[in-house]
Amino acid sequence: MTDAAWAKVRLHVVTGKGGTGKSTVAAALALALASHGRNVLLCEVEGRQGIARMFDVDPLPYAERRIATGLPSEDGDQHAGVVHALHIDPESALLEYLAMYYKLGRAGRALDRFGVIEFATTIAPGVRDVLLTGKVFEAVQRNSRNKGAMQYDAVVLDAPPTGRISQFLNVSGELAGLAKVGPIKSQSDTMMTLFRSPRTAVHLVTVLEEMPVQETVDGISELRSNGLPVGGVVVNRVRPRDIAEADLVATRSAGLDKEMVREDLVAAGVEATKTLVDGLAAEARDHAERRALEDAQRAVVAELDAPAYELPLLAGGIDLGGLYDLAARLREQGMA
């Protein structure tokens, strides 16, 4: 997958090791894609209402809601698109499935009251994943025949973590021992046609630390072994590179020149106590060593056969303004 191929992608699946900021990246990607008048649907399936918190809106129901205007176009010639959001839970998805395929409207809701739906989605995780991904599939596949339904130019899925993403998307394989025929099996096979096509890209989010990068390497290998299309690798929370490499090397090898630090502090009108100078020297060494570790992991990412993108660590944390900042950076790097 190359940057030029993103225009063909309708479903962007975003995964990553827990704690790497995959939900933030998914939200930023949705805003970036909603440029040039495009409409985008941002979906979540893990039940945490993360989208509502990031966009500071009320908890999302099982319905598509407009939550934001997309990133404005660079030249100002076109209006920004719109980002809608959808919180998908397996119980609601199963009720919708029963209504669509078995015409069980009131009867389906009665099953819900008796706890049958919770029972079904708990004992058969493969069925649960088919229901969750099935709603995403429906949003991607919509056309003019779906009267009254919003048509989307792209769908972004805030997906489960890297360790479960292949199982989550490989719904046909997961159902092999549960349903060999019937509508659920047929639906899962149809969904796999989309998930394994160039219309889908699975993006992996990491940070420059050994465990998340290794999980990204393993995740890419597993996705490819299951025939699922790998998209880009987003390196998140990159620290600023505001110290020259030569200074970092010198700090790691011989330590910071404490006398020079003391002189600089005095010149700045700061009392240069031994405790302060020693503390700054220790911080400098820690920073230099961390930068060396980050550079080593960046080299690993560079060896992956996938385009890589970098997002900075935002000192003020993530708010809506921060999401737009990250969205602009993704677009500048060619991801949207």
How far apart, in whole angstroms, are the C-alpha atoms of residue 139 and residue 96?
14
How far apart, in whole angstroms, are the C-alpha atoms of residue 44 and residue 87?
5
Question: What average pLDDT is seen over the chain?
Answer: 85
Q: Is the pLDDT of residue 97 over 70?
A: no
Instruction: Give the sign of the dihedral formed by CA 240, CA 242, CA 245, CA 249.
Output: negative
Least trusted range by pLDDT, from 79-88, 96-105, 133-142, 219-228: 96-105
Domains of the chain: 3-242+298-332 (3.40.50.300), 245-288 (no CATH)
What is the pLDDT at residue 304? Answer: 96
Its pTM stands at 0.87
Q: How far is CA 327 from the centre of its chain?
A: 12
Q: Give tens-digit pLDDT for 273-287.
A: 999 999 988 988 898
Yes or no: say if 41 and 66 are a contact pair by the CB < 8 Å rule.
Answer: no
> Rounded mean pLDDT of 297-322?
94
Angle at 332 between CA 327 and CA 336, to 5 degrees: 60
Angle at 191 between CA 190 and CA 194, to 5 degrees: 100
Q: Give tens-digit pLDDT for 184-211.
A: 667 778 889 999 999 999 999 999 999 9
Collect all residues with Cβ–Cβ distance below 8 Å to 89 and sequence separation of at least 6.
47, 62
Collect all residues with Cβ–Cβ distance below 8 Å to 87 and sequence separation of at least 6.
43, 44, 47, 49, 51, 52, 59, 60, 61, 62
What is the pLDDT at residue 107? Answer: 45
Q: Give tens-digit pLDDT for 118-153.
A: 545 554 556 778 778 888 988 998 865 566 778 999
Model confidence band, residue 2 (pLDDT cutoffs 50, 70, 90): very low
How far apart, in whole angstroms, are the C-alpha atoms of residue 268 and residue 261?
11
Model confidence band, residue 76 (pLDDT cutoffs 50, 70, 90): low
Six token digits for residue 231:
């998209």
Model confidence band, residue 234 (pLDDT cutoffs 50, 70, 90): very high
How far apart, in whole angstroms, are the C-alpha atoms of residue 44 and residue 157?
6
